[in-house]
């Protein structure tokens, strides 16, 4: 087999974040940049010779070129077989599904998730382990160490794979099987949800709008919603994946999914609206003129999980990221199960799921999932909501308000300050860390600080410790302000500020969220000096 061994030198900064390595496309297009990182993945692994690798991505710009390189490098490094999605497509949850079903050694997922795509935008790559989830920190640290020492890479020279044609092809001794990217995922969803009940819901005249945002979930939503479930043609909009996501920002929130929000606020609004992001692992759900926060969505779905066939046995536990609201904690307490609080990043849920300690997981950043795969799964969350709506035959708003009446409402909002200079963002966080000791016990108007710390997490399964995972300021009434720097961007820094207040009185549940949190929003700026230190008088995005 013609294998080339090419000399190279390390690139600085190839350190995987919470979801792999994300950079501008132009960075990945540098000679040897992608090759170095892929070789570093392979160099950090042991025992994969002759094994199966899963490969695919969200179809963004540079996806096909990267797949060609990775296939040839996998052949040169000794993999026996690669399963690649037709046209290079595999949603992130579908990649996890394929890894698990076919007992693959691992997988490489090409995506920058909800970040924009195109020749001048973002690209990303991450390694998923054999359990189907993102590589844990010990693996990403090993990959980074290899990237800083790499001196050569191996690549198969010759031949090419037609990734548009289903079936088996070969690169030397390695088999490349181009698979239907949707089939295995659809099969799994059919086992988890009552498709017959959802079909009857659509047959009754129920209307839905699903905005795939020209991202990867389009083919999946078309196959399931309009195909398997009989939703009317046109239920799925923007269903064709495009390399630049149609020029949009494939992030399913109130700002970037503005067309869906407008449709759900119109006089003739559908009964249910939903959107997913670039790689299909996030979701936003809405009723008519009614927005459901991801935190509330996790809590409501957990409270009603038994209505879906895949979860009739109940939940072993719930896990949420630390910045996510504590609404799920109240459901867990009512169910008599544990709620785990982890750092942000789906990889932290993996050990809990593998150990059978948790069944449902969620993050405030529009991510929800369960133990069916080891990634968050946007379309899964939408289907669970449809299953719930089909069984309860109530509107989404009624279901959520009934939930608040039982469990109380956690008013919750996230304020993002995007594109802050790295030095300013680091300085703000350093200032906060330096003031933690003085914050405890301080009074700010009606609020008294009960706890101020930099969140640290000890994994209950393997004992690993993750430090500096976000600064928490918790008040005596349970209200919280949390500050984090996001690891998902490619330019500057994004400061995320999370504000939460619990309201047990149903008579006060109709307040506007920002009004209900107004005092805490002012406190968040005062305590951290956001305006003073960044020059920003308002957040870029509020969700």
Q: Determine the pLDDT at residue 413.
A: 95
Q: In what order do the strands lie in the sheet with 272-276?
A: 236-237, 208-211, 272-276, 283-287, 290-292
Reported as a single tens digit per residue, the pLDDT across 255-301 is: 899 999 999 999 999 999 999 999 999 999 999 999 999 999 999 99
Q: What are the residues whose beta carbons fall under 8 Å from the beta carbon of 165, sequence distance 6 or more? A: 86, 178
For residues 330 and 452, give the distance between their C-alpha atoms in angstroms, rounded to a whole number: 22
Higher pLDDT: 480 or 345? It is 480
User: Are the C-beta atoms of 355 and 79 separated by less than 8 Å?
Assistant: no
- In sequence order, what are the residues at sequence separation of 6 or more whose Cβ sits closer than 8 angstroms to the Cβ of residue 389? 201, 206, 271, 272, 395, 396, 399
How many whole angstroms separate alpha carbon 417 and alpha carbon 524? 13
Place of tokens 């170095």: 36
pLDDT for 42 beyond 80: yes
Beta carbons within 8 Å of 393's beta carbon, 6+ residues apart: none
Q: Residue 138, exposed/middle/buried by CB under 10 A (0-12, 13-18, 19+)?
A: exposed
Name the nearest CA neighbour of 483 among 494, 468, 498.
Answer: 498
pLDDT at 19: 81
- By C-alpha distance, which of 357, 363, 388 is closest to 375? 363
Is the pLDDT assigned to residue 65 strictly greater than 60? yes
* pLDDT range class, residue 491, cuts 50, 70, 90: low
What is the rounded radius of gyration, in angstroms, for the C-alpha atoms of the chain? 23
Q: How far apart are the first and last CA of the chain?
A: 53
Report whether 417 contacts 495 (CB < 8 A).
yes
| pLDDT at 492 (0 to 100) | 77
pLDDT grade for 430, boundaries at 50, 70 and 90: very high
Res 18: pLDDT: 72
Residue 175 has pLDDT above 80, yes or no: yes
pLDDT for position 159: 81
Beta-carbon contacts of residue 52 (< 8 Å; ≥ 6 apart): 79, 80, 81, 82, 83, 102, 103, 104, 105
Residue 487 clears pLDDT 70, i.e. is over it: no
540 phi/psi in degrees, rounded to 5: -75, -45
With pLDDT > 70 as the criterion, what percentage of the chain qualifies? 99
Query: Is 113 one of the catalytic residues?
Result: yes
Q: Which of 4-13, 206-215, 342-351, 403-412 has the lowest mean pLDDT?
A: 342-351
Q: Taking the CB of residue 25, how many other CB atoms lie within 10 A of it? A: 19
Q: Which distant-in-sequence residues (6+ apart) come within 8 Å of 386 by Cβ?
A: 193, 198, 201, 208, 229, 272
pLDDT at 162: 97
What angle is formed at CA 411 by the lines to CA 405 and CA 414, rounded to 5 degrees? 150
Angle, helices 378-392 vs 183-192, to 10°: value is 30
SS3 474: strand
Q: How many residues does the chain have?
A: 543
User: Looking at residue 25, what is its pLDDT?
Assistant: 98
Angle value at C-alpha 538, between 117 and 21, nearest 5 degrees: 30
Identify the burial level of 543 via C-beta atoms within 10 angstroms of its C-beta, where 0-12 means exposed, 13-18 middle and 19 or more buried. buried
Q: Are 28 and 54 in contact (CB under 8 A)?
A: no
List residues bridging with 179 in a β-sheet: 85
**What is the token pair recorded at 302?**
């957990």
Question: Binning pLDDT at 50, 70 and 90, where does residue 122 land?
Answer: very high
- For residue 1, the model assigns a pLDDT of 57
96-120 pLDDT per residue, tens: 999 999 999 999 999 999 999 999 9
pLDDT in the model for residue 347: 85
Phi, psi of 459 (to 5 degrees): -65, 125
**Could you tell me if residue 336 is left (phi over 0), alpha (psi between -120 and 50 degrees) or otherwise beta?**
left
For each of the domains in the chain, give its residue range(s) and CATH number, in order of start. Answer: 3-181 (3.40.120.10), 185-407 (3.40.120.10), 409-542 (3.30.310.50)
User: Average pLDDT, whole number, for the chain?
Assistant: 96
Predicted model pTM: 0.94
The Cα 406–Cα 402 span in angstroms is 7
- Token pair 């026996």 is found at 80
Helix, strand, coil percentages, rounded to 5, for the chain: 35, 25, 40
Instruction: Specify the pLDDT at position 345.
Output: 85
Contact 410, 295 (CB under 8 A): yes
> In the predicted model, is pLDDT for residue 511 greater than 60?
yes
> Which residue is listed with tokens 């000096």?
529
> Phi-psi bin for 474: left (phi > 0), alpha (psi -120 to 50), beta?
beta
Q: How many CB atoms lie within 10 A of CB 226?
A: 18
Indicate which residue of 19, 40, 111, 113 is catalytic.
Answer: 113
pLDDT (mean) for 437-447: 94
DSSP track, 382-435: HHHHHHHHHHH-S-HHHHHHHHHHHH-EEEEEEEEEEEE-HHHHHHHHHHHHHH
Q: What gap in Å lies between CA 86 and CA 307, rounded to an integer?
A: 34
């Amino acid at each position: 087999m013609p294998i080339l061994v090419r000399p190279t030198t390390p690139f600085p900064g190839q350190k995987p974040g919470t979801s792999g390595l994300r950079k501008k496309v132009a960075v990945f297009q540098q000679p040897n940049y992608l090759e170095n990182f892929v070789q570093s993945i392979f160099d950090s692994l042991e025992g994969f010779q002759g094994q199966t690798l899963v490969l695919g991505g969200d179809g963004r710009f540079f996806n096909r070129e990267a797949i060609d390189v990775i296939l040839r490098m996998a052949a040169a490094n000794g993999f026996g077989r690669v399963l690649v999605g037709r046209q290079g497509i595999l949603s992130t949850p579908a990649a996890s599904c394929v890894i698990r079903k076919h007992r693959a050694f691992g997988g490489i997922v090409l995506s920058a998730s909800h970040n924009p795509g195109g020749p001048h935008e973002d690209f990303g790559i991450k390694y998923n382990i054999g359990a189907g989830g993102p590589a844990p920190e010990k693996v990403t640290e090993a990959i980074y160490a290899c990237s800083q020492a790499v001196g050569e890479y191996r690549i198969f020279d010759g031949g090419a794979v037609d990734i548009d044609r289903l079936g088996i092809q070969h690169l030397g001794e390695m088999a490349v099987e181009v698979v239907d990217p949707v089939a295995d995922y659809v099969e799994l969803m059919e086992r988890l949800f009552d498709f017959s009940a959802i079909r009857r819901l659509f047959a009754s005249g129920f209307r839905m709008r699903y905005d795939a945002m020209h991202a990867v979930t389009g083919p999946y939503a078309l196959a399931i919603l309009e195909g398997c479930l009989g939703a009317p043609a046109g239920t799925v909009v923007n269903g064709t994946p495009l390399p630049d996501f149609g020029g949009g920002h494939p992030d399913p929130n109130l700002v970037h999914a503005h067309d869906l929000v407008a449709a759900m606020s119109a006089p003739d609004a559908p009964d249910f609206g939903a959107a997913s992001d670039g790689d299909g692992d996030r979701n936003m759900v809405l009723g008519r003129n009614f927005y459901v926060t991801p935190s509330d969505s996790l809590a409501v779905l957990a409270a009603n999980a038994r209505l879906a066939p895949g979860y009739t046995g109940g939940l072993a536990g719930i896990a949420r990221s630390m910045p996510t609201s504590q609404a799920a904690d109240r459901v867990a307490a009512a169910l008599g199960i544990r709620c785990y609080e982890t750092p942000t990043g789906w990889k932290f849920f993996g050990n809990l799921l593998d150990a059978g300690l948790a069944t449902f997981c969620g993050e405030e950043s529009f991510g929800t999932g369960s133990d069916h795969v080891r990634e968050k799964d946007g379309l899964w969350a939408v289907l669970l909501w449809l299953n719930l709506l089909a069984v309860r035959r109530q509107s989404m708003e009624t279901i959520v308000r009934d939930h608040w009446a039982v469990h109380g409402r956690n008013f919750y909002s996230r304020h993002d300050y995007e594109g802050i200079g790295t030095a300013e963002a680091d300085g703000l966080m350093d200032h906060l860390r330096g003031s933690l000791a003085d914050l405890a016990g301080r009074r700010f108007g009606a609020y008294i600080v009960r706890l101020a710390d930099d969140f640290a997490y000890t994994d209950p399964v393997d004992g690993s410790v993750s430090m500096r995972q976000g600064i928490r300021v918790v008040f005596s009434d349970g209200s919280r302000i949390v500050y984090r720097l996001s690891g998902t961007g490619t330019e500057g820094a994004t400061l995320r500020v999370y504000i939460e207040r619990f309201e047990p009185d149903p008579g006060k549940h109709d307040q506007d969220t920002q009004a209900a949190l107004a005092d805490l929003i002012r406190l968040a700026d005062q305590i951290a000096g956001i305006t003073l230190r960044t020059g920003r008088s308002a957040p870029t995005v509020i969700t």
